Chain A
């Protein structure tokens, strides 16, 4: 067992991966059931608050203001964390963050760490980096445990094993738990209580043994240097309090200026993500405290493309994200394609705008992500920090096909249009040409009208096949509206 989960590297572009996922009936059923359940619960939880629109606007405003003065708040945070006994490290990219964390773990002499569920460490592939250094990272969130034991990849921000049903989970536990520690009971069934108990017993040994804990954070409060983790299972509380050393890897956009700002997010986050009024566990810590919790605390502040994203006026709103995953749960594309098709730790609509900004649009997969949406707008509607995801999607499509200004590692540059769009570009420019000349447009309409009985409605050749594979074409009318209009106008004029 390598100790590493798989990797997203080398995955095919979204349409190809999604095509395979759509054909997987079990996956479709699992996702449909899970997303619709959470979706409905979220709607009910949000409807309870009469001031939801104000909370949403406040959340967006707090994040925007903080991002505008990010340099100030990060420096303040560093001062306060340091004053409280913590050590702050700055990581420009994934490789640097992994180097820092690996070195910190090695210093302790430990070969094993326990982890709180963390998107930042998924993003940088920390578990894989630690495994290369001979350090085993044990995931302790139930869903992350399922993913890790199954040698699988997370497919959802909140529920990384959403693509699995309980029968599959039982099999994974029965087959693989023993290799990682305490085995699953021989009599294990797929009853949720039994599965939870097997995980509890398996994890308990790891919690009690571990000397090093690794976490992310949902928020960092600049005024006191306090980190905040919200969770449901209590595994996070264990990881944050039992080990001697705690290392937290946190994206720089997670800072908020003051405790008062948490008032907004601690209402909107649980309702948006788990549909709870309040999450069961909220852990907050400020540096280290004698006789209580870890004796050593390291904070690794992660950039990894965030500063570059911040430089883009339209795209920067993606940095408001508080990782609630409401956008995934309402997304009709996510529901059918599943999380793996997005090829990154961030699936769904937010992933489709975050990944191409953090990683750039040079890769084929990353360039395909902004197109992984019908632009239906359901994601924007539920977003608790009002990220206009469709707006950013279209903005990034433009970056892919038109090229334009971007910031790469702090340097403003222009990227060229991506390859592979030549035919499409020609077609849409030709369409504009024709549509900007009513005579040409009309000639086209009349040609279609005259040849309408010759036009196939079920089997178009070439690129049109993508349409007629599942849909009939409408019958082309004998004449376009404008011809009828003109005849009618002439008739009334008596000419």
Chain B
């Protein structure tokens, strides 16, 4: 099977290790991975801040970059949700503004092909044990868009539970938002910081050595807060855990 990786701009720029982990993991599972270099950003920062028109070129770019692939695998719940939930809205609104059905058509063409990484593993490949080894105490924070917009449910947990050596510890208040929220983090910095500090303290109280999510943008906030509070808990993307084996430990 051949799939396209939509890595997302945040991962490409700041978390290339996550991208390398996705490639390692999928190739180990017998999947051929392409990284169409025309890809960039899903347009979520623009859209969620109110600049819908500024997100439109990126909708077109996404559709063009991933044309012809049956599966577009996204290691980010938030960016996958942007495509699946908001691209159709952008299309509908453009049509309502009398600009025709082009964007709606593009949205329709990419929505059914866009899958978040854990969805791809569990639903498309049908695996939960990916042969990973990660001998650490880990707590899992379900990030909001994966949890509520995509409905990832138990998929990430089932994958983590099958990792050898990994001790999964409950995160109290796990379903509460970490406070990142894109531009919310700077527009309402005080509230965002308060939410982040509460999340970081909950993470620290678990005694885990790593906090795992399916979204590195949220991790940037959680990890940045942990670091500021002097914690040594590592923020880690689920792909990096799943890519790790006894022979080739990731990191």
A residues near B, CB below 8 A? 14-15, 18-19, 22-23, 28, 313, 332-333, 336-337, 370-378, 380-381, 391, 394, 397-402, 424-425, 428-429, 431-432, 435-436, 438, 441, 445, 448, 458, 463-464, 466-467, 469-474, 476-477, 479-482, 484-486
Q: Which of B36-44, B206-214, B240-248 contacts A (4 or more CB under 8 A)?
A: B36-44
A484 touches B9 (CB 8 A): no
B186 touches A481 (CB 8 A): no
A238 to chain B, nearest CB (A): 39
Alpha-carbon separation in the docked complex, A373 to B48 (Å): 11
A470 touches B144 (CB 8 A): no
Number of interface residues of B (CB under 8 A): 70
Q: Which among B51, B147, B149, B177 is the interface contact of A332 at CB below 8 angstroms? A: B177
A471 touches B47 (CB 8 A): no
Q: Which among A371, A425, A441, A472 is the interface contact of B187 at CB below 8 angstroms? A: A371
Task: Contacts A397-B49, A435-B40 known; list 16 others, CB within 8 Å.
Answer: A375-B184, A377-B144, A380-B148, A391-B89, A424-B49, A424-B183, A464-B186, A466-B189, A467-B224, A470-B193, A470-B224, A471-B228, A474-B220, A476-B14, A481-B20, A485-B35
Q: A482: which B residues are within 8 A, CB to CB?
A: 12, 35, 37
| Interface-centre pick from A15, A399, A435, A463 (highest chain B CB count, 10 A) | A435
B196 to chain A, nearest CB (A): 7
Over the window 5-32 of chain B, the binary record of Cβ atoms lying under 8 Å from chain A Cβ atoms (1 yes, 0 no) is 0010101111111011001000000000
Q: B196: which A residues are within 8 A, CB to CB?
A: 470-471
A480 touches B40 (CB 8 A): no
Q: B225: which A residues are within 8 A, CB to CB?
A: 470-471
A398 touches B50 (CB 8 A): yes
Q: A402: which B residues are within 8 A, CB to CB?
A: 50-53
B31 to chain A, nearest CB (A): 16
A480 touches B188 (CB 8 A): no
Alpha-carbon separation in the docked complex, A485 to B23 (Å): 10
B188 touches A14 (CB 8 A): yes
B84 interfacial contact with A, CB 8 Å: no
Q: A22-B190, A429-B54, A482-B35 are in contact. Are A374 and B181 (CB under 8 A)?
A: yes
The 8 closest A-B pairs by CB, nearest first: A374-B181, A397-B50, A471-B224, A470-B193, A376-B177, A481-B19, A481-B16, A377-B148
A435 touches B148 (CB 8 A): no
A431 touches B45 (CB 8 A): yes
Q: A469: which B residues are within 8 A, CB to CB?
A: 189, 193
B192 interfacial contact with A, CB 8 Å: yes
CB-defined A-B contacts under 8 Å, sample of 26:
A18-B190, A332-B179, A370-B50, A371-B187, A374-B177, A374-B182, A377-B144, A377-B149, A394-B48, A394-B86, A397-B49, A428-B46, A428-B54, A435-B43, A436-B58, A466-B186, A469-B189, A471-B220, A474-B15, A474-B223, A476-B14, A480-B13, A481-B11, A481-B20, A482-B37, A484-B19
Q: A486: which B residues are within 8 A, CB to CB?
A: 37
Alpha-carbon separation in the docked complex, A481 to B237 (Å): 15
B194 touches A22 (CB 8 A): yes
B130 to chain A, nearest CB (A): 21
Q: A441-B9, A480-B16 are in contact. Are A432 and B54 (CB under 8 A)?
A: yes
> Residue on A with the closest CB to B179?
A374
B71 interfacial contact with A, CB 8 Å: no
Q: Which among B37, B57, B144 is the interface contact of A432 at CB below 8 angstroms? A: B57
A432 touches B55 (CB 8 A): yes
> Residue on B with the closest CB to A405?
B97
B187 touches A15 (CB 8 A): yes
Q: A14: which B residues are within 8 A, CB to CB?
A: 188
A471 touches B221 (CB 8 A): yes
B141 interfacial contact with A, CB 8 Å: no
> Residue on B with the closest CB to A15?
B188
B179 touches A375 (CB 8 A): no
B191 interfacial contact with A, CB 8 Å: yes
B141 to chain A, nearest CB (A): 12
A448 to chain B, nearest CB (A): 7
B110 interfacial contact with A, CB 8 Å: no
B50 touches A375 (CB 8 A): no
Q: A377-B145, A401-B51 are in contact. Are A432 and B58 (CB under 8 A)?
A: yes
Q: B179: which A residues are within 8 A, CB to CB?
A: 332, 374
Q: A15: which B residues are within 8 A, CB to CB?
A: 187-191
Q: Which among B23, B45, B221 is the interface contact of A428 at CB below 8 angstroms? A: B45
Q: B47: which A residues are within 8 A, CB to CB?
A: 394
B40 touches A376 (CB 8 A): no
Alpha-carbon separation in the docked complex, A428 to B57 (Å): 12
Q: A394-B48, A477-B16 are in contact. Are A467 and B184 (CB under 8 A)?
A: no
Alpha-carbon separation in the docked complex, A484 to B20 (Å): 8
B77 to chain A, nearest CB (A): 11
Q: B53: which A residues are within 8 A, CB to CB?
A: 402
A375 touches B181 (CB 8 A): yes
Q: B89: which A residues are within 8 A, CB to CB?
A: 391
Q: A466-B186, A480-B16 are in contact. Are A394 and B177 (CB under 8 A)?
A: no
Alpha-carbon separation in the docked complex, A425 to B38 (Å): 25
Q: A485: which B residues are within 8 A, CB to CB?
A: 19, 23, 35, 37
B138 interfacial contact with A, CB 8 Å: no
> Residue on A with the closest CB to B65?
A438
> Residue on A with the closest CB to B7?
A481
> Residue on A with the closest CB to B42?
A435
> Residue on A with the closest CB to B22?
A481
Q: A445: which B residues are within 8 A, CB to CB?
A: 12-13
Q: Which among B40, B86, B148, B227 is the interface contact of A472 at CB below 8 angstroms? A: B227
